[in-house]
Structures are given as structure tokens and as C-alpha cells.
Structure 1
């Protein structure tokens, strides 16, 4: 027997289905709204009390309430601003290291590390919310159930001027990386060196920052005057996360010893200082890398040095407010990684031997035979014997360099000679005297390869203020052309 469908029954089922899903969607939307947004619509009597009153009257948090009174933050949490408090249980307060509550200043910092301005409910569209506490530390509130390593025991307890979450562990304020480094300065050579850079200028620009140091920023003054914090990473910055590999004394001294022959300065003390700087500048990274991720992370410093990490040399892992410090017995970085090649782009000169040849100077955008775009400079038909384009280079090592160039001669039918002149001083007549080296080489036709043009040796490390590309000593146009894509100066390991 064939049973025909009942149209009225079909309509009824569809109707009930629509009602069910509409109701489900309404419940879903309602459950995803922020309770703080709806707190004012309720008649909860708890809203008649402010945060200070509620925390002090809640049986689980009375000990934290006492700390609010002792530090004056009961008054702060009574005002009209909106706050969120992560209030530790009484048991959690009992587990706090007594040294963190040994005086009023420490108690205030402890309390501030549990309070944030504005409302942070447990309901959020983000998995992790970074919260700035009144302590100026930044803590991660995850999924509304964890803040740092503390579990939320009871969430979203409302008051007239905000809300509080009860947590099962106190949020003990941690030092940041820079504060930790300074605390180790008396016992750790690398820490002592980093701290010493408050008074020693690695670069010329460092003294400018120190001279302009505002008195109003005394709390963060190291960030303005320390050569490491200004030139590498500001490890005093609470907003970012970093990883620092802090070497124990023998490991640090070993790395400095390896670099000293390549960073020779005027005195033994200044040589040691510069070798130490070039050691430590590659030990900080702009990310916090957890222990379990070390083996899969490629550590390349902001200066381009790849640093291999041997986890067997980790002595201690220290979690801090803005990252992680790994104390290392040794961290051996091969010289092949440390001694960086200097590349100077031809189209970025510092100046010229004469400034009236702009009409003869061409900054070119071209493609090589493989279709790869490059930029270079060409000075042509200028009529000046030994016309020069000037460059400079920072952070040169005291060693021999192999000099390469890529110089494209693609619009002339003849070759020409040009010279790489390294160093020297300019006399009163504008002539360069006592150069370190002059490397003359012929520029062939349509040669796109990198060409080794010779070697030179630097006896002292530092900045080279004068590197020049010099035209042939002739006024004949076509024979005194200059062209340069780039110079590459490759340090040689002794």
C-alpha cells in the first residue's frame, strides 16, 4: 500500500523545526554576550556594593581584602572608575613568599599586580586577552579561566564599579628581564657588562640619548641611556616579550676571547668592551620562546647572526614579566656566523667628490638577463678625472676583507677602469691621502656576475667613514664612467 504524505503534517514539522532553531540561536547569542554589558539590567543586590566592599565581605577573599586596606587600595576600588580584580583566595595568600609582603612598597606592588582598569569578564571572543595591570605588568587572561598560571575559581563577581574573579593562586609580580639582569650584576660577568653600558657609549648616537634623558622618566631611564637597550632590544619594556640567553662567566669570557682579535680598538680595555658588546648583542631575541619550542626555533639576531642553541647547556630557565631568561653554561656561536658580510648598495651614496654632476648621475632601475630587478648608480660623461662616489660602513672588523662588486656596464661599447678606495683622510685641498687600499679593476661589457676585485686589511675595528668608487684619471668621456650595483666586503677568519 502506498501512503501519501500529509501536507498539513509536513507544514507542522517545518514550523516546529524553525521555532526550535530560532530558540537555539537566541540562546546561543545570549550566552556569548558580555555579562558586564548586562549587569546594570539585573536587580542583584551585590551591585549595591563597590569592589572593595564585595572583596572584603566575600569569605574566600578576606585576606586580600585586608591587603587592600593596608595599602590604601580599598579607597581606589571605591571610586567611580571601572576595575577588574583577580582576587586570590585566602589559601593562595597564605602561600605567598613573605619577602613579597615585607614592606608597604612591596605590598602595594603585589596588590597592583591583581588590579586592572576597565572590565574584563570571562566571556570574550578572544582566546587570550593581554591585560595591563596597575603594576604596569602585562598578564595574559586566557579563555576566561586562567590568568598567567592562576586558575579562576569563581568568575564574574559583580560590584557597582566593576567585577572580580576569585583565583586559586596569587599573581606574584615578576621582575622584567632588565631588572633581573641588574639584580645579577654583582655575580654574573655578562650582567655586569650589560649594566656598565649605562655609562659607556658604543655608538656616537648613544651620547645624544643620554644628554636628552628626561628627568620625569627616571623609572625607565635605563631604556634611554643604556647602549644595549637603545641599540639591541629594550629589555626594560613591559609591553613586548623577549628571550635572553645569559651566559655564565666562563662561557661569556670564552665567547669574548674568540671575538677580540676581530674587534681591536685603541686600547686593551676598549677592545674588551667592543668584543663584549658584539658577543651580547646576539643573545637577545624579540619573542619569548618556551623550553619545549627551543629545538624547533631558528634564532637569528636582529643583526643577522644565526645562534645555535644547545639545550644541554641550559642551567636554569627564569620566567619573567616580559619574557624568559635561559642561563647558559656555554653558547658557542661559530665565527662564520658572527663575522657578518658588509654590503653597500651603489644607489645609496653618502656624497660625491663634486656636487655639480647631478645631471650626469643616473639612479637606475633595471632587469638583469634573468629578469630579476635591480637598482644601481651610473655616473657618465662628467668629464672629471678621478671623480668619486663616497660611501661609509659601520661595524667593520679588524681583519682582512675580500672585496667584491657587481658593476654593470651595459650601455657603452667599451670597457673602462674604476677603483675602490678604502679609508684615508681628506686634506685641506679636498684630496684623499693615506688610503688603506686602492683596488683598481676593469669593468667589462655586460658582466652581471659578482667579481672579486682584491683584498684589504683593517688593523682597527669600527666605522669606515670613507669608502670611494673612483673614476679613471682622465677627462675623456666614456673612459671615466662609474657604475655600481653593490659592494660586498667579506671578512676573512684569521
Structure 2
């Protein structure tokens, strides 16, 4: 029988193999260690003993018999739950106690992630460690370490309204890799799929800021009390109005909850007064409003009574660079379109712009897709330097319809590097729009040019 593992102080720091160790697997070592007989029983019951008998390299953090006396027997009698529990202590590859510097976050065989330091496995102490055998390393720990829920699993187990609002963001989509193709549409050339095949559930929140079920990514997530989440939804609701009231309610939920998702796990010890959400919005953090803290397998959930995100930080100016258009009114004028790197002589700073010249097409236009505008008045400005022509020219801004006369033509003066106001725009409803910069209605060289460094749409909030 192999002697019980011994350590120097709390554990053995030696990582070198011995001749005896090279002849053993982790499965054999654990089976021959009396103090791990209960863990070995669970390995056999869940089939993980066969995994640890293979030639692949693993690390095992094994709870001793005394520790496992405290394991809930309902878990032990449920093979699926027991397998999740045992798999929480096994990882691929070999990790010694000198591997973390100062901490490693490692994926376990059950798909969860654990944190490993030189002295701890999650919140359990490593009492004996670094026992090397032919296919990996064994450490012994002194606490029951149950698999944690991930952020979404935790939220889904609560009764908060925010859970219901998050579930309302689900929608059905087609996964072409799972759908049955029946042909090709002769008009569009796109595949035609058998109805009802390849349907999957997606979520608008996850599309925007990341999947809270993703075990690999760590999140800090704010779970608001019912009163607080409703207050935030009421605040944003007037600015996400559409022609469909149900759609507006969904948008209200999305545009609140998206700013309660922060990438990275911030403990209370390193929680700043302001975080930046995964959507790029400033989120003030009042520690006095934190009611509960829950550590999950992929981050931290703070239950809070307040998350007063300012409208000015949510509804931000839109800026589009002239040199990154989404298309043109015609595709045969590429020779008349210049994407330029220039220098502002007033500041010495470089800038990029687009300059369209000598195209001879009345009302030629360049278009820019804008993903979303809120229900608020926007003031529109552009910078159009016109640094090479001696002639001035006029161009016009338009939204959705390039022939719209909502905006008047604006003269583009020679070598004007200032931001110029070109008009106001109030969206009829929340949503995406297409913006245009339109040339003059003539075909005369020099007087129907287009030049844009950038344009910006600045919301006018109360």
C-alpha cells in the first residue's frame, strides 16, 4: 500500500517524479490512498475512475474522507449531480502549487471554472499537494467544494422581476447548421430550409453584451430589486418608443439590463465608484445600495436597490467617420472617390476623410448605416474641410430618404476645419436609420463634390 501523502508544512512542494510514481495512474494512486476511499467510491460510481486511468494528464483536488462526511446524501444518491460534483475537482493538464501566480482560473471536467492558488482550491485549503504520477498530479483538500451556478443560473433561480424581463428578450432564430435545406431561392440565391427545422432560442441581451451562461467569461452582474428595475425601465421607456407597445416594453428591458452587465469580476474590495458596462456605458456604483453578494462560477452577482445610470451616459452622441461609408448611390464611380489621410494645418493633427469629385451625377450620395437612434431630438454637425478645391460647393444631409428636404443644403467653404451645424433631426420612432450625404443637384465638376471628415448626431436631453 502506498503510504499516506505527507507534506512539508501544509503540503509537499516537490514536483519531480519518482520511479514508483511513473508506474502509477491517478486512478491507482487515489484507490490506494486510505484517506481518499470515499472520493474513490464516487469516482467509480460516476465513471471518472476510468478517465483518471487513461494516459491523458489531469490534476485532481480530492476531498479527504472526513471532509466528505459533510456531503449532502441527496447529492450522493443522484448520479447526475454526483458526477457534476466529482467533475468539479478534475481538470485537464498538470498543475502544481507553484503554477498559480498568484491565481489560476481553470476549466474543470464538468464545464465549470475553479480558482486555484498556491494554498487553496476555491475556498478549500490544500492540506497535501503535488503528488506526481504518470498521468498527472494529486492534491488533497479539506472542504466540500460544490459546483457554483453561473450568473444566469443564479438569476434564473430567483424570483426577481429582472429575471422575467431578461427572459422576455428571448427570440427564435434559424441555425443553418442544424436546419434541413430543401433548395435555393431562385430570386435571392439564398438557401431554403424546411419549416420548423434548425430553430434555436437566442437572446437580445446576450447578442449585445455577451452570454451570461458562458463559463469562460467572467462577469460582474447587477441584479436590481423590483422597484429599482422598474424605475430604470420607466426612465428609459420614453426614448425607446416604437409603433408596437410590446416591442417598446422589450426595448425598455434591454436598454436597462444591457448596462447592468460588466465584463470582469469585481469583488467588493476592488469595486470602483464607477464601472463601464459591456455596452460601453458608465455605471455608478453605490456600495451602500448593495444588499447581497453572490459569487458564481463565472463572476459575481450584486443584488442592489439602485443603479442610477444617467440618461446622458446611455443616450450618447453618434459619430460616423466619413471614410467608412456603407455604400454609394452608384457603384461605377470608384475612380472619383478618394479615401484620404490629411493634416489639419491649424492643429497639426492627422485625420482621414472621404472626397468625391468630378462624378457628374446630380444628387450622387454616400450612405452610412446607424444602428439605433432614440426618441429625442438630435443636432447634426459635420466637419468638411474642402482643402483642395478653389470652388466652394454645397452638400446636404438626409436621413432614410436621400431626396428628403428635411435638411437644407449647406455650403462647404474652402479649408474650413470647424464643426458646422447642419440641422436638427427627430426620429419618428426608436430604431436604426440610414444617413446620407448628398451632392448638389447638378453634373458640374467642382460644384457637386462631397467631402466629409466626420458627422455627429448629438442628442438633446432634458
Tell me the C-alpha RMSD between the 2 structures.
2.6
Does 2:452 correspond to 1:477? no
Deviations 1:271-292 (A, max 9, x none): 1111211111111111111111
Aligned mates of 2:82, 2:408 — CA distance in 1:
68
Give the 3 Å change call, closer, same or farther, for CA 317–213 of structure 1 in structure 2.
Answer: farther
Give the 3 Å change call, closer, same or farther, for CA 290–441 of structure 1 in structure 2.
Answer: same
- SS in structure 2 opposite 1:354? coil
Give the 3 Å change call, closer, same or farther, for CA 293–213 of structure 1 in structure 2.
Answer: farther
Aligned mates of 2:178, 2:301 — CA distance in 1:
28
Does 2:81 correspond to 1:112? no
- SS in structure 1 opposite 2:339? strand
Aligned mates of 1:86, 1:49 — CA distance in 2:
17
Instruction: From 432, 452, 457, give the equivalent of 1:489.
Output: 457
Aligned mates of 1:411, 1:345 — CA distance in 2:
19
Retained in 1: the 8 A contact 2:169–2:254? no
Aligned mates of 1:101, 1:460 — CA distance in 2:
56
Does 2:143 correspond to 1:169? yes
Corresponding residue number in structure 1 for 2:241:
264
Corresponding residue number in structure 2 for 1:394:
371
Cα offset, 1:125, TM superposition: 7.4
- SS in structure 2 opposite 1:304? coil
Rg comparison, structure with higher value? 1
Deviations 1:144-199 (A, max 9, x none): x2122211001123445433111111221011112223323xx2222222223332
- SS in structure 2 opposite 1:61? helix
Does 2:286 correspond to 1:310? yes
**Structure 1 residues not aligned, in runs of 5+:** 1-32, 201-206, 216-220, 425-431
Aligned mates of 1:480, 1:367 — CA distance in 2:
24
Matches within 5 A, 1:87-236: 87-98=62-73, 100-124=75-99, 126-143=101-118, 145-184=119-158, 187-199=159-171, 207=173, 210=175, 212=177, 225-236=202-213
Larger relative strand fraction: 2
- SS in structure 2 opposite 1:489? strand
Scaled by the length of structure 1, what TM-score is found? 0.81
Give the 3 Å change call, closer, same or farther, for CA 348–124 of structure 1 in structure 2.
Answer: closer
Aligned mates of 2:78, 2:51 — CA distance in 1:
20
Aligned mates of 2:208, 2:221 — CA distance in 1:
15
Larger relative helix fraction: 1
Deviations 1:280-325 (A, max 9, x none): 11111111111111136x4112332111111111111110111111
Cα offset, 1:462, TM superposition: 0.6
Retained in 2: the 8 A contact 1:471–1:482? yes
Deviations 1:318-351 (A, max 9, x none): 1011111111112111111110111111111222
Aligned mates of 2:352, 2:343 — CA distance in 1:
9
Scaled by the length of structure 2, what TM-score is found? 0.86
